[in-house]
Amino acid sequence: MNATGRTLFTNVRVFDGTGGARFDGQVLVEDGRIATVSRGSDALSADAHRIDGGGATLMPGMVECHAHITYPNAVDRFYPHLYPPAAVETTLMTVHNALVLLDHGFTSAYSAGAIKPGIETKLREEIEAGRISGPRLRTASMEVYFPGDPDARPMPQTNDELVAFVRESKDEGVDIIKLFLSGLDNVLEQDDWEMVLSDEAVALTAREATQQGMWLSCHVRPVAGLKQALRNGFRVLYHVEEVDDEALDLMEQRKNEIFVGPTIGGIALRAEMANGETRENAKRRLVAYKETIDRIRSRGVRVVPFGDYGFPGRPHGHNARDLGYFVRYLGFTPAEALAAATKWGGEMMGRDRFGLVEPGYVADLLLVDGDPTHDVGVLEDPTRLLTIMQAGAVHKSVAAGIRGLADSHR
């Protein structure tokens, strides 16, 4: 999505995405990018559409760093089964999910696996062409283990199956190969703490994906799987509940290349909403998780929020809850959580310049009613998002003086 013309945000408090304090300023957007950021009383004079922020916070758009955009459940739609019976139904749900994410302030999304093949890549093309509203996408390979889905197939296990899987994914046009290096209770044959693939199989798959120009992401909880990933060039490491000194040393060596996504939403929800032993187990798990993440962060590794939304209990649209979970359970300050969702999310997308309110960056911007650097919970309420801008185009605005412009971009 691209926009021409100029928009000037005035009377705003700017959170620039770096984690620093907000500052009074004005921001000029031109041809889809941030042209000028002024501080304090330095007024900008420009022939531009003006948005008077009324003292609201202007910040970068958020990046969903573990998106399952093809998963069916959204805040305004409950689907009783995780896996829809037909690809056409999944496609229509996915188009709707894209709009829900953008409406909730997510201007970019990094996929952690698709429910059916082909949908994410076509959606990415439609969003880039401006024909469908949604976050710009980095697309991932199909997660192929789903039981009960008529379109499912067994997970690739042999070397030949893994190479074929990578090549088919490349032909589909995906950006990322996603593998399960450790199991998943009640879904895979292996449980959460068992390994899935041999060292040889992981190395072979990684080489093939790299040769095909694709990135690697993985679902991994135990330290043995983490080391597999780190030794084979995996870029994004999801879950990561266990580390040791050797793994931490490997992570530090690659700290400028990797991202860790704890994806604690499900655990946090059980800690807050479940009863009895389920709740207590979740609380204990979160305490252990914080110890692990503290050790990872101490090595300078980028830890990013969000993920695993689209389930009945965690629908698309509730993703911003993870910011609060990062503050309550992982020890992030609100500003640190926001920086992880914007600056680091932008770096994770790995193209162009996203995630900061700085000259030259793509103008993905949120005007927020409130101070998310004090209370990240304001971002859970879409009515507090006064303006949503993506690449300089106004997707939504209720701010003074811009309603007509917003309508013109729909």
Q: Are residues 298 and 158 in the same domain?
A: yes
Global pTM reads 0.94
Say if 272 falls within a structural domain: yes
CA distance 151 to 161: 17
Tens-place pLDDT, residues 52-77: 999 999 999 999 999 999 999 999 99
- The answer to whether residue 222 is domain-embedded is yes
Is residue 376 over pLDDT 70? yes
Q: In this structure, are residues 36 and 27 in contact, taking their beta carbons and an 8 Å threshold? A: yes
Residues 99 and 216 in one domain: yes
Tens-digit pLDDT profile for residues 79-127: 887 677 788 999 999 999 999 999 999 999 999 999 888 999 999 999 9
Same domain, yes or no, for 28 and 42? yes
Per residue in 207-252, pLDDT (tens digit) is 999 999 999 999 999 999 999 999 999 999 999 999 999 999 999 9
Domain containing residue 11: 6-60+355-408
Indicate whether 28 and 123 sit together in one domain: no
CB 391 within 8 A of CB 364: yes
Nearest residue to 378 (alpha-carbon basis) of 387, 368, 390: 368
One domain, residues 81 and 140: yes
Instruction: Check if the beta carbon of residue 181 is closer than 8 Å to that of residue 218.
Output: yes
Q: Both 25 and 85 in a single domain? A: no
In the three-class reduction of DSSP (H, G, I as helix; E, B as strand; rest coil), residue 332 is classed as coil
Angstrom distance (rounded) from CA 325 to CA 304:
12
Residue among 180, 113, 116, 164 nearest 140 (CA): 113
- CATH (domain of 28): 2.30.40.10
Kindly state whether residues 132 and 233 are assigned to the same domain.
yes
φ/ψ region of 331 (left if φ > 0, alpha if ψ in -120 to 50, else beta) reads left
Q: Are residues 163 and 210 in the same domain?
A: yes
pLDDT of amino acid 205 = 97
Please answer whether residues 127 and 62 qualify as being in contact, where contact means their C-beta atoms are separated by less than 8 angstroms.
no
Alpha carbon 14 to its chain centroid, in Å, reads 22
Do 265 and 237 belong together in one domain? Answer: yes
Are 318 and 309 in contact by the 8 Å Cβ rule? The answer is yes
Domain count, the chain: 2
Q: Decide if 1 is inside a domain.
A: no
Alpha-carbon torsion (368, 331, 341, 112), positive or negative? negative
